[in-house]
Amino acid sequence: MNHAFSFQVKATDGAARTGDINTPRGRIRTPAFMPVGTAGTVKAIFADQVHALGSDVVLANTYHLMLRPGAARIAELGGLHKFMQWPHPILTDSGGFQVMSLAKLRKLDESGVTFQSHIDGSTHVLTPERSMEIQRLLGADIQMQFDECVKLPCSLAEAERAMRLSLRWAERSKIAFGEQQGRALFGIVQGGIDETLRIESARALTQMEFHGYAIGGLAVGEPQDVMLSTIETVVPRLPENKPRYLMGVGTPDDIVEAVSRGIDMFDCVMPTRAGRHGLAYTRFGRINLRNARHVDDPAPLDSESTCLAARDYSRAYLHHLVKSGEILGMMLLTWNNLAYYQQLMTGLREAIAARRLSNFREDVKVGWANER
């Protein structure tokens, strides 16, 4: 078994690349989409199904797992991989985004963040050191530095303050991470939508020598062209021999466009959340199973799909399950959506290797022109 963390680019097509992230727990093929298992579970689907669909890695979250059941308890039970029956790589978010978006009565200073739990109002403190301790207790293969993620839009002064604080926290995160054999720590580029701030953040983090680099603070409501221009600003300032991760993105179109600009890794709750709310993702675009047009439709979501949820169940039956609030409807649509996302990633990897990404990109755009 290889006990080192490494990344190799295998093929390129323009700025896009396909490659392998190697970890002691297995290979992550890039471009990679990481299903979100926030609280130690990808909602409405079994872990072995997630892997069978082609997922090499899942994401779990420091904030949620520290609140319940607690990182120390998970460690005592053998670590997160054993706890959730997922023996493959896990990436953990640092908790910074959830502190911004979910926590109550947040108080931020140089040391970290004091906040009240959104679950029971109990008081907790997250610092770079504490975030790294929790991620180490969980046993995450890829860990994220603790950062401050500001809401957009925000003033230039606020973006600069948060970016510089995140850089100081990055240094502390790296020290706290220390040496963990086979595990990796990623830095997070911040700076709002300001080009100068993003460049400064990327350069400073690169000098710190992280195992990989993420672009944070996007996918929070800004237009797609703003997100893409930020990617175009940051990617050339990041090392070519390290993975690049766009946090919290996104739609199939967002993913294809970001891959075309050199991004290697993605995560988003969209396919699983959509599945729980009656929305199917397919190569034909989004299909809203709540729509009455499907009530008598015997056709499956996609008769040519290798996913049984897409191929073997009628739209009429799926419509019935969704309208009835049946759990099976949520399970089947989650299964379908994650299958589609992994098929998209396989298509991207194959297109890059064959140097036909532009054609694949256009095919995806045509398929996603309308919601049905």
Instruction: Catalogue the active-site residues.
Output: 93, 267
CA distance 289 to 280: 7
Question: Which of 157, 154, 135, 156 has its CA nearest to residue 144?
Answer: 135
Q: For residue 8, give Cα distances in angstroms to 23, 202, 239.
A: 12, 21, 12
Listing DSSP states for 130-141 in one string gives: HHHHHHHHHT-S
| Helix (H) or strand (E) segment spanning residue 286 | strand 285-288
Per DSSP bridges, beta strands 32-35 and 265-268 are: parallel
HEC readout, 15-63: CEEEEEEEECCEEEEECEEEEECCCCCCCCCCHHHHHHCCCCCEEEEHH
Rounded to an integer, what distance in angstroms lies between the CA atom of residue 357 and that of residue 351? 5
Look at residues 27, 33, 18 and name the one whose alpha carbon lies nearest to residue 343. Answer: 33
> Residue for token digits 């963990």?
180
- State the Cα–Cα distance between residues 65 and 138, nearest whole angstrom: 9
Query: Nearest 5 degrees, angle CA 68-CA 71-CA 74?
Result: 90
Structure token pair of residue 58: 């899942």
- Burial class from Cβ neighbours inside 10 Å (0-12, 13-18, 19+) for residue 265 reads buried
Structure tokens at 308: 């049984």
Work out the number of other CB atoms within 10 angstroms of the CB of residue 123: 11
